[in-house]
Chain A
């Protein structure tokens, strides 16, 4: 960290490098450096954490950079869910350690802070662990791609697919702050548009600890589906308590609007059975994903990969493809433009594309958590209920308010 070189001078040189397009394009520093920035030790360590770092390293190994004449390095840091730490690590990585791209980043306040730094330094940000739909909305940037999921897409897809599969009457359990309200609002509008009805809602303080009174209200409403418009610890506790009250046993179903396989693993099938949730990827869907899932589990203590971790693999693979194609990594906006120009291709997500607002498009899938009796092998948690095609799953570009889109 103590560098004898003059940072100022280095910045001038780097600025000149960027400002002269006629200069031969090249890999800065001779190495493509990928920084995985996420929560390695806190609330989101399960959905991203060390698993994402493993996924990034695996992506690099599978890409075989030597064959493309590239040297690639992966480093990782814990942002501890603090924007201060996230932004300072990002700045240090760009200014001092010559990192070219930052990947993952759960926690919306950190994403938005790092997004500004990435835009300022003209690097690349590939968001996989985080879900704030502002990343492709009002905070969209030519240097950022939102890879795996966002809260709008999950709410929309869950609402649509659940109503289509018969869950017509809904009751919402909402975390009483902006995020919970937004989740509830997005789901309510899609439920009503799809022909469902909303019987009521109850708001719980954030963070909540005891959901008994709220769950009993939900039970009394008689709604077929209880929508959980909250996330993380709140969702997990709500699901557990619902199972203890026998709510799911008596015919009502829970729909988690932002839940991951790591939450299901933590809850166990006994408590989580029957829970419906939407995911962009599941390890047991095709052979390539199964192979990935099993080697992930072997390397990560028996835990199966979440869609965010698979998203990191996919994002890194496609980033390296783009860098190899244009043979430079110094100009972030240029690499992102290249990624948007071609179809994405990787063994986990298959073929896909990236929109002008930085949103990667792929189908989303509605899953239901299996009963313990239905689970035949470790990791066998989900059964597929339906698929929402890519062009219906994500928020239309015109509604996002992204300045990049309105300029077109």
Chain B
């Protein structure tokens, strides 16, 4: 029977299936970071359990780490990182600690090291685990109780989600990026449109994206409520993976390619739901509110809550505008920003940095803006520096920082001050996400870079 990519991966990982029970699903790769794991390791310790497959478990440090060269860490952050180190030592879990050269945001290092592979299952105590689906893996975020379950059993008890295909039709206009495609899709689906689904992104606009662009798309699946997003593996995927440390070599590589080529959704396979998005109508996107579904094209204006049809949506929009300090009808381009953040598991890969650097080269950040670039991993940072991107950014007035989650979630010293407005390449514009009282607008790296130069929302070349 014709199967979807998602079904193929799911069905090949069912360890046990019984009527009236969720499937018991095997986990091929368990990624661990310092924030959502301490209580899980403690649970193992209290129950006298071990980690079943430390060889399928990899830990890194990302959420808490300071990205300034000599920024001190607060005592609680130090404790959390020390706890991860101790837990990894005690349970035999490999750890890419700060300074190892392989550290970075967990969703950047997985693909970069070739650990993320087509057709495997990946979980992590982090909702942006959906990122890894860009390579045709089934990857989703879990909570700490589930982290403990996976550590102890290498499996997860899961009810099979429904499937949703998002078909991007038409040719992508010049200047429109992966970030714009996914923000437009979230605007269309709403922040709960994907709840209960695994999304497969398809269409020529997806196929023509680089691996970095596909990672950006799948990363934000959770912002539409979907735990996982997937893209069919193809030659772009294989070219990206070849030679990376975690992938098979020689004859095993050829064997892996044969398996991976069989993964894409079969012709005639059916989805529980399908939607079409006309790519030709998409322009650069900017969020105006306090969730990623509150988004408009950069040519647009802040919407009037009165225009929303339901009373609940009207109330949500009104609250969002009060928080964001915005008036209905204000053209997006007239909104001035205080800060620009280029980074996060959404947009901190080499291609993102190249795109931003191309915009700012030879120009200067607006005097009223503080702008920073935070590479997603130690390897991205090294690569960017070998290409001279650090010098381009610094010459333009950007801060060039060390790898980490940084100002995406403000668990480290990189935060917005109350009332500060930020153009950010991250994934969440929730209230206080980047610092209590901070105001976040989500944009692509190119728009973030152009905005840093202009001092208000702008596209490259303006």
A, B in one complex: no
Give the interface of A toward B (CB within 8 A): none
